[in-house]
Chain A
Amino acid sequence: EAQVTQNPRYLITVTGKKLTVTCSQNMNHEYMSWYRQDPGLGLRQIYYSMNVEVTDKGDVPEGYKVSRKEKRNFPLILESPSPNQTSLYFCASSSSHRGLNSPLHFGNGTRLTVT
């Protein structure tokens, strides 16, 4: 089954404790992206990647890191989480993003709470 898999689904952590949210897709998609969803703000893009070893900042990249060492994986790293990063996070992917406008495929989300 074609899917985007995020782990964990739920995560509670404390301020300053490094964490990684994993994202993996099995559709051989070039494009991958991370969003955060907050009430009243909709989805905001954190980082995106056009292909392996190519990453770019989205609209709200502060406090986050990403890497794209393999095509299928795009982990989101919070080096020193803070309470304002409490949110619902989504990973998404699509094929050959530029020019073809393929729709995004989303994971089921990771609900992160930072205390």
Chain B
Amino acid sequence: AQSVAQPEDQVNVAEGNPLTVKCTYSVSGNPYLFWYVQYPNRGLQFLLKYITGDNLVKGSYGFEAEFNKSQTSFHLKKPSALVSDSALYFCAVRDYRDDKIIFGKGTRLHILP
């Protein structure tokens, strides 16, 4: 069965520093991977996705993610964090043969001024 893990409940980063939010996945076939962000009192917003092609995927708000097949990881990154990046981030995975999308438990990102 497919699954996704976000090993950190919370990540704290100083403003201006690079940030990484970790995600690992397990699927039986080729993975389709997504990152979403949730701001307070709002629904999730799509950031970026990996389907095929380049392992480094660029998305909204300066975020990018690196797909690593050997490590089954899809970590979210940003070179220089902003206070406004503080939010809850969800990784999601879908097996291309399945209709279901599985979400991780979320990682709360705090950017410290």
Contacts and interface: CB of A to CB of B under 8 A. Distances in A.
Interface of A: 4, 33, 35, 40-45, 48, 50, 56, 58-59, 90, 92, 97-98, 101, 103-109
A40 B96 CA distance: 27
Nearest to B51: A101
Interface residues of B, number: 21
Determine which residue in B32, B51, B99, B100 has the highest number of CB atoms from chain A within 10 A of its CB, and name it: B99
A43 B103 contact: yes
Interface of B: 32, 34, 36, 41-46, 49, 51, 90, 94, 96, 99-101, 103-106
Contacts of A107: 43
Given A56-B99, A90-B44, A42 B49 contact: no
Given A101-B51, A101-B94, A106 B44 contact: yes
Given A43-B90, A45-B100, A106-B44, 18 more contacts: A4-B43, A42-B90, A43-B106, A44-B103, A45-B101, A50-B99, A56-B99, A58-B100, A59-B100, A90-B43, A90-B44, A101-B32, A101-B51, A103-B46, A103-B49, A104-B44, A104-B101, A106-B36
Determine which residue in B36, B43, B51, B100 has the highest number of CB atoms from chain A within 10 A of its CB, and name it: B43
A66 to B, nearest CB: 15
Determine which residue in B44, B103, B106 has the highest number of CB atoms from chain A within 10 A of its CB, and name it: B44
B99 A42 contact: no
B92 to A, nearest CB: 8
A58 B36 CA distance: 20
Given A42-B90, A43-B90, A109 B43 contact: yes
A108 B99 contact: no
A89 B19 CA distance: 29
Contacts of B32: 101
Contact of B99 (A35, A97, A105): A97
